[in-house]
Amino acid sequence: QVQLVESGGGLVQAGGSLRLSCAAAGRIYSSYHMGWFRQAPGKEREFVAAISWNGDSTYFADSVKGRFTISRDNLKRAVYLQMNSLNPEDTAVYYCAARDITKSGNYLPVLRTSYDYWGQGTQVTVSS
């Protein structure tokens, strides 16, 4: 079973930047597609970005395209979300998610149901 732990959240002024990290722990015997989602109070969890198991493909929500980048370091068992030009609408709890590439069925990066494992989240607050 894979455990995911997010870090790097905090308070930042509008226009600033933050870099989130997602570290994997436990016995890992496979490769994983990875995604980032976020959830604001009273809102549904929404897709932010995703990256394929080998890093060859990336996906971004329209709301963050051009501002956020996603990357991974499989040797370090970590995934990163670089967030630039932040605005108050980016305020949310950010979650890391993983999908085992051996899982049957189509992989649709933007869907919450595509992922098998989730972290506990890290708070990002952007002040105006």
What is the reported pLDDT for 30?
86
- Check whether 47 has a pLDDT greater than 80: yes
Question: In angstroms, what CA-CA distances link 115 with 8, 11, 118?
Answer: 22, 28, 8
Cβ atoms of 13 and 126 closer than 8 Å: yes
> Quick one: tokens of 26?
């436990």
In terms of pLDDT, which residue wins out, 38 or 25? 38
Q: Are strands 10-13 and 122-127 parallel, antiparallel or unpaired?
A: parallel
**Which range among 23-27, 74-78, 114-118 has the greatest average pLDDT?**
114-118
Cα Rg, the chain, nearest whole Å: 14
pLDDT band for position 108 (50/70/90)? very high
